Amino acid sequence: MPEITILPADAALNGESPAWCTRTRRLLWIDSRAPALHRFDPTTGRDEAWEMPALIGACAPTARGVLLPLRTGLHHLDLSAGTLDFLAPAPCDARRFVLNDGRCDPAGRFLLGAMYEPLPPGELSDAPQAAPLWRYGDGRWTTLTDPVATSNGLAWSPDGRTMYHADTPAHVIRAYDYDPATGDVSNPRVFARVEEGEGPDGASVDRDGFYWSAIYGAGCLLRFDPDGRLERRVDLPVRWPTMPAFGGEDLGTIFVTSANKDLPPDERAGRADGKLLALPAPVPGLPTVEVAGF
C-alpha cells in the first residue's frame, strides 16, 4: 500500500474537483458546501481560498483564472483582479438542481453535469430528478447524454477517443465513444459497476489509460484497466473520498479530495475526513487541460 499524506489544507464539508495547474504548480480544488475555491501549494503547505456567493460544483483552470459553475450559473474568476464575471445561466432549473463535476476535454471544451437537490419546500414526486451532461461553448449549452441522477466521474482516455461518466446512485460508470474533433459522444455502454459504498464519485485517468475512481462512502480508490477490469484497490484514511487528480512533479502524485458533511459537527475535529490527501502514483497522470477561449 502506498504511503498516504494528509495535507495541511483546511478540512472541507465537501472537497471536490482537484485540478493541477502546471503553470503555477498549484492544486486548485473546491469546497462545494462551504462554497469556496481553494489553491494549495504543496511546497509551502499554504492553502488560499476565495469564498463564493452560491454552491459551487467544479473548477477548471483557464489562462487568466478559473471557470466556476455555481448554482446561479457559469462564472469566470480572474485570480489576479479578484473579479467574478457571469458567463451564462445554468443549463437546468437552478431551483431543482445544482451543477456538479465539470471538466475540460482534451481540446479544451468544458463539460458539466448536475445533481438533483431542490430548494425548500422541495418538489412534487413526479418532478424530473435527473439531468444530462452538457457541453458549454459560444455562450450556449449543448446536451450530450441521457439524464443521470448524479453526474460524476468525468474523464477521457489518453487518446481522447473514450469518455467516461459515472452516475453515483446508480453505481455505474459508463464509457462513450468520443470524437476529439467535434466533442460529440456516441455508443454508450457500461464500463464498470461499483456496488461498494454510495457509488463512484470523481475520477481521473493515468498515462496508461487506467481509470481511477473515488468510491464515496467506501473509503477507497479503485483502479480499472481500459477494459473495465478492477486492477487494484487503494484504501484511504477517509470514509468519503470524492475525487483523485494527478499533479506535482512529473504528475507523479495523486491528490484526493474528501468530505465530512455526513459527520455530525461535533465529530469532525481530529479526523482525516474532509482533508486533502496525497499519495505516490504507480504511473504518472495526464496534464490538466485549460478551458479554451480564456
* b/e map 175-211, b = 16+ CB within 10 Å: bbebeeeebebeeeeebbebeebbbbbbbbbbeebbb
Using an 8 Å Cβ cutoff, are 134 and 91 in contact? yes
Distance CA(104)–CA(200), nearest Å, equals 19
> Is 78 a residue of the active site?
no
Q: Is 174 helix (H, G, I), strand (E, B) or coil?
A: strand
Residue 38 exposed, middle or buried by CB count within 10 Å (0-12, 13-18, 19+): buried
Q: What is the DSSP string of 25-67?
A: TEEEEEETTTTEEEEE-TTT--EEEEE-SS-B---EE-SSEEE
Helix (H) or strand (E) holding 189: strand 185-193
Q: Which of 105, 167, 201, 206 is catalytic?
A: 201
Supply the residues annotated as catalytic: 201
